[in-house]
Structure 1
């Protein structure tokens, strides 16, 4: 531990790289390729555009504050053993590959920032402005595609802004990585080696129990419904070593599934356009970020129990109401309108829970933003979510991303523009630990993250339960939604209205 501490605090020193780095550097010197990138990860690498960068952006609010030295030490110990965080993504004619960064410097990736506040703005507004700026600031492609920025003095503590390119991993995998960073966390092999459960072990269990299993259940039902052909096809798609011939063979397997597969594929291809709201259009590449104070999770659960709905149904119904209320504030009439949000669904089996890379599909959820009755909205969301159970659409979207990774960029852009034309928002809904975690001795008070929007999608919504509360956040293109805080501010009144109406219902009534 002493050796690691002195290394991380020396300005010019670099952390040790994995043992395989020597072989990889030799291969690069000889003109050979490094480790091949999976087709899905390659698609994400090439999906950056002038208006949307493919970065997952997260914010941690910590109290009391932490130092840059402590952060650097923790990252050196816990993050860098994941090889992707010391590797460079290199594109080539066949796709892309990973090579170790011969010039890696931890101080290029872990930095400090001092917030500047405009007159009349709060610290939170200053931080939101900074996060919005960072969301459209490209990562350095000559080095590993991630960066942590520490605001050492923020609201009586510190704020940590993390940016990680989507080609490294999806949100589910990165949650596991971030759990390695918190106090008491450890690298995956050490987790598996433990025989007794500590408090930290219990906190880590939520990753498997509330993320991997529930989201994987939807896919498991789809695979069971489709039979062995679907499972074989998914295995082919998921393998990063498969080439064009396997992809063609996989397409044949998909074609043989028939029935539900044909129906789901047609549903994806023939999705009607969204209602033409001000939230849909051509983004300009300037981002705005907003979040509010958490609402009590127990109240959300109480509403769900009273209405015989899931927590997700309740929250998504409130999101739909908040977006509708925002449009009304802008002078629009959302009555009868609906927008489509793409919701990521995990396709990662339990044994691969700690691996990096992208293993998720997308389902299109239509939100009834023009429905005034809050209970009717929740039941509509519940009905639509239930209709998606057993759907092969997550598997199909994963397959489309795999195929997209094989194509030249113009063809990839043309294929993926389908989602941009048919979608207004990307929405994530992730359950987190019930108790607050510690990081470098400080309490992690609030946590938010946003996944990237693709193509012409200009709105991202995140819902994250953590420490007994539910955190709601929005990221938007300023040309489509210049003040996302107005959507945030509409969320709590919508929730309060739903709670009040629910309390007035007679027991046993749905």
Structure 2
């Protein structure tokens, strides 16, 4: 992981009276600038399922006392003309909640007869709407009607330049309270437990030899991955066209967001049985599900095996420093170099579309791929490469590099760790958290979001390409069940 600083974004000690007590300016980060380019204009959509109907006054008061205390959510992007080459920067502005809290007027017949479909249709509709850049780049849509899993929902839509999934999750946790005792400080996100086995003590010579070998392996894997990255970014290496791969112009078409609740206990059961990690299991489940879907839809021989590649988003902040919420509000000049926003690298991660009689083979393959990728600096280099290209050739060249990465691979994959305890957000119990994105040149985006004892699987699909997205969700659920049974 890259040696970045801890995330300092707490919003706990503000009374909610008056505007923020600072004037704030900051350049838009290099990755944030990339997401401003027309063919990379990416947005986050995070649906928060609630266990109670929305109390709108309490919601507005809570936003005023928390979210509006964060500089990014009360700032505009404006061009800094003081530089030789003008660049966008964040500049504080006055925020009116009426511009950002949206209560849509939906057909009550549709929301009562087919509530889940009505929510999907509404979320799909907002993926076609532009965002007003004359105000801070976020909106909170209040969907105050019951669905299968929740009594109501909030849908946060924001421009990706505001922050990545890890930033958003930390901010959400900072705004919430544990349901067990809402008067206490915000809950913390779980940190990755150590998974390394205890190594026997080695003589100094053996220890030095092991270090040299591991360093050489790291260097070799990094070189190989760098060559693959350059070949993909320059369009020399492309995934073959399959029914999973997006077609030209997919980034401008509306997306449908569908989700399914999976059991975190089932995933952990497989993890413990196979001595691997939760992420390894999810990689295996994803490969199994995509294989089921592919062979059912194409009718091709089950003996066939193809490889598709995904871009796996990797958080480059410290763990556990990423989720440490400081005791005071983040202020310019007092954050000690804290890194909020977009601190994401990517790994080019292969998925094998194949049929295995032993379903645990999917998990073994996922574990093998994950361990290989951990022995590489690929994600750091992919994060830094567009920054370097931008400095030398400009933002257009860097954006073209990123665009080719998404276009020449098949899907985007992400796995974000969430709180392990029940949250209350402005007096509303949080039932689930379902984040996703749209605006990328890929037909399929897969997000896993853990929360309490569940994992939310969220798919963002091009509906023209995946009209049967719920069947694909079934494939994921069935694959996990079969793998769990096999374990």
Fold similarity call, TM over 0.5: yes
Structure 2 gap ranges (5+): 1-11, 196-210, 326-338
The higher relative CO (CA closer than 8 Å, separation ≥ 6) is in: 2
Residues 368 and 352 of structure 1: CA distance in aligned 2, closer, same or farther (over 3 Å)? closer
1:414-441 Cα distance to aligned partner (Å, 9 max, x none): 2223312331111111222222211222
User: CA shift at 1:198, angstroms?
Assistant: 9.4
CA 1:110–1:401: 2 relative to 1, 3 Å = farther
1:182 corresponds in structure 2 to 176
8 Å contact kept, 1:63–1:157:
yes
Aligned-residue offset at 1:67: 1.9
Distance 1:135 1:389, change over 3 A: same
The normalised TM-score by structure 1 is 0.75
- Among 165, 189, 194, which residue is 1:171 paired with? 165
Match of 1:323 among 275, 290, 293: 290
Is residue 60 of structure 1 aligned with residue 48 of structure 2?
yes
- The aligned residue for residue 254 of structure 2 is 286
Structure 1 275/317 Cα, relative in aligned 2: closer, same or farther at 3 Å? Answer: farther
**Residue 265 (str. 1) matches residue 216 (str. 2):** no
Aligned to 1:339: 308
SS in 2 for 1:291: strand
Aligned to 2:432: 446
Q: In the TM superposition, what is the alpha-carbon distance from 1:469 to its structure 2 partner? A: 1.3
Judge which range, 173-182 or 266-275, deviates more: 266-275
Distance across 1 between alignment mates of 2:446 and 2:239: 17
The 1:452/1:286 distance shift into structure 2, 3 A limit, reads closer
Q: Which residue among 232, 235, 242 is the counterpart of 1:277?
A: 242
Query: In the TM superposition, what whole-angstrom CA distance separates every residue of 1:174-209 from its partner, at most 9, and x where no partner exists?
Result: 111111221369xxxxxxxxxxx9996583142xx1
| Structure 1 contact 62–442 (Cα < 8 Å) conserved | yes
Deviation, 1:225, is 7.4
Counterpart in the other structure of 1:484:
469
CA distance in 2, matches of 1:145, 1:119: 28
CA contact (8 A) 1:291 1:488 kept: yes
CA shift in 2, pair 1:491/1:89, >3 Å? same
What is aligned with 2:485? 500
Q: Distance in 2 between matches of 1:37 and 1:410?
A: 16
| Deviation, structure 1 residue 387 | 0.3
Q: 1:432 to 1:352 in 2, by over 3 A?
A: closer
Say whether residues 1:414 and 2:400 are aligned partners.
Answer: yes
- Number of equivalences: 424
The 3-state SS of whatever aligns with 1:20 is coil
Taking the TM superposition and a 5 Å limit, the aligned residue runs for 1:15-26 are: 16-20=19-23
Aligned match for 1:424, one of 382, 386, 410: 410
> Pick from 381, 385, 388: which aligns with 2:366?
381
Q: Residues 396, 320 of structure 1: CA spacing in aligned structure 2 closer, same or farther, 3 A cutoff?
A: same
For the residue of structure 2 that corresponds to 1:487, the secondary structure is helix
Q: Against the structure 1 CA distance between its residues 482 and 120, is the aligned structure 2 distance closer, same or farther, given a 3 Å change threshold?
A: farther
Counterparts of 1:120 and 1:321 in 2: how far apart (Å)?
35
Task: Indicate if the aligned counterparts of 2:413 and 2:446 stay in contact, CA closer than 8 A.
Answer: yes
Match 1:131 to one of 115, 123, 142: 123
Once the two structures are superposed, what CA deviation does each residue of 1:483-507 show, in whole Å capped at 9, x if it has no partner? 32221121111112112222xxxxx
Tell me the SS of whatever aligns to 2:57. Answer: helix
Structure 2: distance between partners of 1:315 and 1:336:
20
1:113 aligns with: 104
**How much is the aligned-residue C-alpha RMSD, in angstroms?**
3.2
The alpha-carbon distance between structure 1 residues 401 and 76, as it changes in their structure 2 partners (threshold 3 A), is farther
Secondary structure at the counterpart of residue 156 of structure 2 = strand
Contact 2:306–2:352, Cα closer than 8 Å, also in 1: yes
Give the conservation status (yes or no) of the 8 Å contact 2:49–2:431. Answer: yes
- Structure 1: unaligned runs, 5 residues or longer: 8-14, 22-33, 186-196, 215-221, 228-256, 503-510
Question: 1:42–1:405: 8 Å Cα contact kept in structure 2?
Answer: no
Tell me the alpha carbon deviations over residues 341-383 of structure 1, each in whole angstroms, 9 at most, x when there is no partner: 1111111135565642211211111111223342111111110
The 8 Å contact of residues 280 and 367 in structure 2, kept in 1 or not, is answered as: yes
Alignment counterpart, residue 269 of structure 2, candidates 302, 307, 320: 302
- Mapped contact 1:361–1:395 kept (Cα < 8 A): yes
Deviations 1:262-311 (A, max 9, x none): 3331121235422421121221512111112x232222111121122222
* 1:403-459 residue CA offsets vs partner (Å, 9 max, x unmatched): 3554545423322233123311111112222222112222211110013453x2121
User: Normalising to structure 2: TM-score of the pair?
Assistant: 0.79
Distance 1:481 1:394 in 2: 29
Which residue in 2 is equivalent to 1:475? Answer: 460
Alpha-carbon separation, structure 1, partners of 2:221 and 2:369: 17
Distance 1:296 1:114 in 2: 34
Asked if the contact 1:114/1:151 (under 8 Å) is kept, the reply is: no
**Structure with more of its chain in helix, by fraction:** 1
| Partners of 1:39 and 1:465 in 2: CA distance | 29
Indicate conservation of the 8 Å contact 2:28/2:88, yes or no: yes
Sort the Cα spacing of 1:415 and 1:376 in 2 relative to 1 into closer, same or farther, 3 A: same
Change (3 A) 1:285 1:158: same
Give the match's secondary structure for 2:446.
strand
CA distance in 1 between partners of 2:122 and 2:383 (Å): 33
